[in-house]
Structure 1
Amino acid sequence: MSTKRPADAVRWLRPDEERAWRAFRRIMVAVQVGTERDLAVVGLSGPDYEVLSTLSEQPGHTSTLGRQADKMGWSRSRLSRHATRMEARRLLRRAPDPADGRGCLLQLTAQGLDALAAAAPAHVDSVRRHFVDRLTPADLAALERIAQRLEGP
């Protein structure tokens, strides 16, 4: 069954909607490029930092690969490949998941925690420079409201 809709049934974006969509995309790219460039200076990629920071929030700095992938919005295969590279750098380790014979646990290592602690000040500074400090408190509140509306089902 085809999911294509006839061109005349498509709700094309109005000019103001298209401008807003393109502005949103430019914001995402600019902030991501800036923060990832700054993280590279301290030896981490944006995805490295995301894995380390989200694992650091888990009890015992441990999570199942599946739960971690879901939390990050990644596929399991993407996270598995990235975890392999991080494991080679001793930032995390894998362990069998006792609750799922096919799954594994991701555990933050002491070296991973140290890398996160060393990168966090530079990351926060970067987020401030590329995002927070360029906006007013009203802008930040509006973005928070928008995010709440977009995060739902």
Structure 2
Amino acid sequence: MTESLDNARLTAWRAYIEASQRLFTRLEDDLRVASGLSFADYHVLVLLSEAPGQRLRMGELAGRLVFSPSRLTYQVSSMQRRGMVARQPCPEDGRGSEAVLTAAGLLALREAAPHHLHSVRTHLMDDLDDAEVACLTMIFTRLGRRLQGVGGTDAALATAPSDS
């Protein structure tokens, strides 16, 4: 049997779970009210806007979002219907396809970004001092790297069947 957490770690775990869920919900609610975008929409738009040629292979995008292929297909199809992204064959490999940011998607991102930044600042960043920001960065960078390297890697998750 696995050893239980001591009181300090249990308190930290529960505080993290509850606060992170509240934070995510608040950020997504603010984003939807300000722009009509979901957090997933916004994240896709950000990743595509930062990619060379504003395009990413579907598999790479799924890995970066930590989405299964079917979940990404659903997400991209929804955004495609709204004109924010296009899906095109991959020029280097006719078997693959890429998600491509459209002008409408870039405009949606540019309009949503200031509101989202304000929400992130208001609900998280403005309450942290420099040492706390550095600590969060260190913790989540290390955690992210470790989670990418273990059995449940992002690549494995991106190829796993979706439950959603």
> What is the TM-score normalised by the length of structure 2?
0.84
Aligned to 1:136: 129
Flag as ranges the 4+ runs of structure 1 deviating above 6 A. none
Structure 1 counterpart of 2:57, from 28, 46, 64: 64
Question: Matched residues, percent identical?
Answer: 41
Worse-superposed segment, 31-40 or 9-18: 9-18
Give ranges in structure 2 of 5+ residues lacking alignment.
Answer: 147-164
Of 75, 97, 106, the residue aligned with 2:99 is: 106
In the TM superposition, 1:1-153 aligns within 5 A as 9-41=1-33, 42-153=35-146
Comparing 60-69 with 29-38, greater Cα deviation is found at 29-38
Q: Which has the higher contact order (CA 8 A, sep 6+)?
A: 2
Secondary structure of 2:29's counterpart equals helix
- Count of residues in correspondence between the two structures: 145
CA distance in 2, matches of 1:142, 1:98: 42
Give the aligned CA root-mean-square deviation in angstroms: 1.2
What SS does the corresponding residue of 1:93 show, helix, strand or coil?
A: strand
Structure 1 unpaired stretches of 5+: 1-8
Partner Cα distance (2:129, 2:105) in 1: 34
